[in-house]
Amino acid sequence: MSIKSHTNPRLTVEDYITSSIIRFGGLPNYIQEKMTVDTFAIKGNLGIAHGIKMYIENQKERLHSAEQIVILDIGPAIGALTAMLVLQELSQAGLLTKVKVILLDVSERVLQKTQERDFEFPETLIHRSLKTKIFSKLRLSKGLLTSAHQIPLKENSVDICTAGFLFHHLHDDIKKATAEAMQRVTK
DSSP 73-125: EES-TTTTHHHHHHHHHHHHTT-GGGEEEEEEES-HHHHHHHHTT-S---TTT
Question: What is the C-alpha separation between 44 and 48, in angstroms, rounded?
Answer: 6
Q: Which amino acid is at 74?
A: I
Mean predicted confidence (pLDDT) in 147-153: 95
Are 174 and 36 within 8 A, CB to CB?
Answer: no
Taking only Cα atoms into account, the Rg of the chain, rounded to an integer number of angstroms, comes to 16
Q: What's the order of all strands across the beta sheet hosting 99-105?
A: 2-6, 142-146, 99-105, 69-74, 160-162
Are 87 and 49 within 8 A, CB to CB?
Answer: no
Mean predicted confidence (pLDDT) in 61-70: 96
Question: What is the C-alpha separation between 131 and 138, in angstroms, rounded?
Answer: 10
Examine the pLDDT at 38 and tell me if it is beyond 80: no
Question: What is the C-alpha separation between 140 and 161, in angstroms, rounded?
Answer: 18
% of residues, the chain, pLDDT over 70: 82
Q: What is the pLDDT of residue 87?
A: 96
Question: What is the C-alpha separation between 105 and 180, in angstroms, rounded?
Answer: 17
Q: What is the pLDDT of residue 45?
A: 77
Q: What is the pLDDT of residue 16?
A: 46
Mean predicted confidence (pLDDT) in 77-98: 94
Question: Sorting pLDDT into bands at 50, 70 and 90, what band is 6?
Answer: low
